[in-house]
Amino acid sequence: MSGGAGHIADMNNRMRQNRSMKASNKPKFKSGNRDLNFDTKNSKKLSFKKVSESELKLIKIQIQQDLKKERINQLYIFILSVIIAIIIILLGVFYLS
């Protein structure tokens, strides 16, 4: 009998695979600059519209209403698809018997 019944070989394979999945330390660009796209000194500042508290509440209520309508529509579609699936299954059962 071999010692470990192949568990040690499996462990070594898993360690090799995990090592190969890790990010490499080799430079990806000439001069090894990996932070090319993450320069914060030259990035533009984002500007957002200033909204009053009452307008903000109205926007939140509108978003909540839209989400509620969308959830109801998804529920109708789900119920309809379940009913259609049941009808197809029943037709298949009656057709085969």
Residues of the chain with pLDDT > 70: what percent? 75
Query: pLDDT digit string (tens) for 47-90?
Result: 888 999 999 999 999 999 999 999 999 999 999 999 999 999 99
Which residue has better confidence, 39 or 93? 93
Question: In this structure, is residue 23 part of a structural domain?
Answer: no
> In angstroms, rounded to a whole number, what is the distance separating the alpha carbons of residues 4 and 11?
11
Residue 10 lies in a domain: no
CA-CA distance, 42 to 46, in Å (whole number)? 13
In a domain, 74, yes or no: yes
Give the span between the Cα atoms of 53 and 60, in whole angstroms: 10
At which residue do the structure tokens 């192949």 appear? Answer: 6
Residue 18 lies in a domain: no
Can you give the pTM of this predicted structure? 0.46
Per-residue confidence band for 8, with pLDDT thresholds at 50, 70 and 90: confident
